[in-house]
Amino acid sequence: MNSCDITLNGAHLAALGSGALWWPDQRLLCVSDLHLGKSERMARRGGPSLPPYETRDTLTRLAADLDHTQARTVVCLGDSFDDLQAAQSLPEQERLWITRLQAGRRWIWIEGNHDPGPIDLGGSHLAQLTTPPLTFRHIATPGETGETGEISGHYHPKVTLPTRGRSISRPAFLLDAHRLILPAYGTYTGGLRSHDGVLARLMGPCATAILTGPSPVRIPMPRL
């Protein structure tokens, strides 16, 4: 399993190349910003027409991570659905797929700014989850995070690097001494560059970025 080992507030974690976070001691897999049903929502609101395959692609990758890790707990870190109607409009086959992934596991939906709140898809719905020494929430809180390390999503962080006369951009984890921000896991998701002011202000001066992909790479977090 391609991953990069990291430590946050004493917890030993693995940033997976897929963009998921694995906490072996807790058998916990965390993913953020699935945005399931985004193509349906965009079509409904008159936006660009996108092939309606993103939910299946996202669930396929999630199923692979669950198969590799054999996670007992899954934390979906907010914005799991693009809006309420997108959640309600999921095809029955995809709803059943989610049910199968949940079977035999503790499944927690953290509330996000896109999320509709409790929906009939199983699992528990929480504003945030604290499992010492970590707290899981959708949006990072400015300043130090207190006694627990903070794990969040929301910003869809990406890193752009120059290489051989061109630049490449990859979703990335951002890590400092107090917090970890996960990349978006969903197939149809944009991103915020690590040098953007909001991320630069949130992350400490010694923050690092872990680029996702077949071979995760850890580098100092790029800033302007």
Closest CA to 58 of 37, 28, 27, 83: 37
pTM greater than 0.85: yes
The pLDDT score that the predictor gives to residue 155 is 96
List the single range of 44-53, 123-132, 153-162 with lowest mean pLDDT.
44-53
pLDDT single digits (tens) 66-99:
999 999 999 999 988 866 666 667 788 888 999 9
Domains of the chain: 3-220 (3.60.21)
Give 16's contacts (C-beta < 8 A, 6+ positions apart). 1, 2, 3, 22, 65, 212, 216
Inter-residue contact 183 to 157 (CB < 8 Å): yes
pLDDT single digits (tens) 155-210:
999 998 877 777 788 999 999 999 999 999 987 677 889 989 999 999 999 999 99
Q: How many CB atoms lie within 10 A of CB 116?
A: 17
List the single range of 48-57, 125-134, 143-152, 172-181 with lowest mean pLDDT.
48-57
DSSP string for residues in 27-49? TEEEE----BTHHHHHHHTT---
Question: For residue 81, what are the β-bridge partners?
Answer: 36
